[in-house]
Each structure stands twice: as structure tokens, then as C-alpha cells.
Amino acid sequence: MLSEHMQDDSCSLPPQLSSFHKRFAIVSDTIQTKNCHCMINSEKTSRTGYAMISVYLIISLFRLASGCPEEALSPCSCRLIANKANEVVCKDATDIDKLQKSLSKMNDLPIQTLQVIDSSLMFFPSIFFEGLSIEKMHLINSTFMDLSDSELAFTGLENSLKSLIIQRCRVYNGWAWTELKNLKSLTWFKTLKSGLDVIDSDIEDIAGLNLEVLELTQDTVSYVDEKAFSHFKNLKVLSLKANQISDVKRSMFPEPALKLTQINLSYNQIENLPDDIFTNMPSLISLILSGNHILTIEEPAFSSVWKQLKKVDLSDNPLRCDCRMKWVVRAGFPRTTYGECDQPSNLSEKSLDELIVDDLTYC
């Protein structure tokens, strides 16, 4: 219930609501903003009227604070997600100045997700993201000469950007890990079909970020530096799926890997795993190795984590179900197990978790 004269410091309007009077003029009432106070004054308005107005104002304020601007955003569009967050999609952009002008209309309005799709741009100028707050950014099926015109990319988003996905993009002059080192709020980074062919030692340039999920997938990576991820202490999920990796070492991972819960090395060219590959990984519960050239489940390599695993995927491997697997049948399989025997012929296509010790007489 509102009294006829109400003054409250909590009514102060944020900057993004400066156009409020133009959008929500209420006949017979006066909405004044002065000295950071709000005043609603109408002698003829009933208590019911005040209640209706207050509800209307609250809804309007909320929409302005978290919604989309009324102005057109071409080449971008904005839509509300569950009436509380927004998604901005910019498609077929070729003029960086026009794109910047479009996004400037979102200044002071937090963007949950920004997607740049099917676009061709030179680079994002260092001042491009000033005044913007973006939580998630997806660059999809687009080309760039560079990511930035300076040594650091996405400046201005250091405190807001939590997720960055680069999918089917090409950066003609290449991009360096060091360009991302300022994104201190980034917890999830993913590349997919974006021209990555090696993971060298310079990936340590982003090891100081608070990354929890790192996915470098569906590319042509054939070489991974032997200490590539050793300093990513906060990493929970690491995926290198669908590359051309044949050699992995324990030294590539943190030691100990206290937070690592999932490793995905599926659809690579791995034949053998070192005996110590999963040692000192107390949190590992999901291991995805499908689509490789693995012949057996070696006890030295797997035993250190086998009983703590909740999921193991060894499907699409030419597994030889012989006496070398007796240990794993005795130990029992994780709750979720995928994989089947390839050899010998009498066990072909038999699911791993259906094996019994007596099946494994062949050596």
C-alpha cells in the first residue's frame, strides 16, 4: 500500500531507466525524480489505483533492467529468455562499426548470451565491448582477420564473461592463448572446428584463469605438449574429443588433479595408455575413451581410479576380451559402462558389463 506522499532512497533509478518517463507516462499522476528520490503524488488516486500503479511500475522497471531495448538492433536481434534474461543474436555482420552501434543500445542492460553467427569481420576493436556486460559469448561459423586490434581480446568483459565458445570459425592471422589471459571470470572455454592443430606449451598463458571446463574438440590436433594442462588446477572437465591425438602422458594433467572429474579423449588415435596415466586423480568419475584403438583394459593404467568411476565409455574400440581383463570383471564395472568385445569371435559384440570370468579363458 502506498501513502499519498512516499519518499524512499530505495526508489533511486538506475542509469538504464533514464528514459522511464517517456515510456510510462501515467495520466493524472506525476512521477518525479529529484535528488535521487522517487515521489508519487496524486490526491485523486484511490488506494486500489496506487496498488495497480505500483505493480505496473515494478513490472516495467524489471523489464527495463533486464530486458531488450525498444530500438531496432540490426544486424542484431534481442529476445527475452524466461522474462528475466536476454539473448542477442547478430547474424551476417560485415561492418564492425554498424555492429558496435547496434550493440551500444544494450549498454547498461546485461546480456546473458551474445551470438555472432555467419559473419565476416576484420577484428573486434579494443573499445568494442566497453559499457557491455556479457555472460556468454558464442562465435559461430564466422571469419576474422584477428580477434582484436591489440594484444588482448574482449577487453571490457573481464568481470562478466564466464563462457566463450568458438565454433566453426577461422582467424586468418591465427590467435594466441595470451589474448585471452585477461578474462578472469571465464570458467568455460570451448573450441570446435576452429583450426586448432597443436596444443603447445603457450596454452599455459591461460592457466591462471578460473577455468573449470576446457573443451578443444573436433579439430586436427595431433600434438599436445607434455605439460599442457599441468597448471590448470581448477579444471573439472577436460575434453579433447575428435582430434588426431595418439600420445598422452600423465604429465599433461595437474599433479595432483584434485578437481578433475571428467576426461574425454574419445575419437582420437590412442592405442596405449601409460601405467600412471590416472594416478592422483581422486575426483575422476567419468572417463570417455570411445572411438580409439585401445585393445584391452590394462590393470596398471586403470586400477587406480576404476572403483571410483561412475561412467566409463570404451565403445568403438577393437577390444580383445581375454585373460588380461579378468581383473576388471572381478572388480566390477562402473554403474554406467559402454563397450563391447571385438575379439575373440565367440565374444564379439558382447557387452563388457555382461562378461564373467569364465568367458576370459583366451590369452
Q: What's the pLDDT at 47?
A: 52
Residue pair 24/60 in contact (Cβ under 8 Å)? The answer is: yes
Residue pair 211/190 in contact (Cβ under 8 Å)? The answer is: no
**Residue 49 clears pLDDT 90, i.e. is over it:** no
Per the listing, cell 524512499 goes with 8
- Within 8 A by CB and 6+ apart from 84, the residues are 66
Residue 256 CA to residue 225 CA, distance in Å, equals: 18
What is the number of other CB atoms lying within 10 angstroms of the CB of residue 210? 13
- Cis amide bond preceding 256, omega within 30: yes
Residue pair 327/304 in contact (Cβ under 8 Å)? The answer is: no
Q: Which residue did the predictor score with more confidence, 298 or 10?
A: 298
Residue 145 CA to residue 174 CA, distance in Å, equals: 8
Provide the mean pLDDT of the chain.
86
Quick: pLDDT tens for 201-254: 999 999 999 999 999 999 999 999 999 999 999 999 999 999 999 999 999 999
C-alpha cell at 145: 582477420
Q: What's the pLDDT at 353?
A: 96
Q: Which residue did the predictor score with more confidence, 173 or 50?
A: 173
Q: HSE (CB half, 13 Å, CA atoms) of 344?
A: 10
- Within 8 A by CB and 6+ apart from 343, the residues are 318, 319, 320, 321, 322
Strands 163-167 and 188-192 come out as parallel
What is the number of other CB atoms lying within 10 angstroms of the CB of residue 300? 12
Residue pair 162/134 in contact (Cβ under 8 Å)? The answer is: no
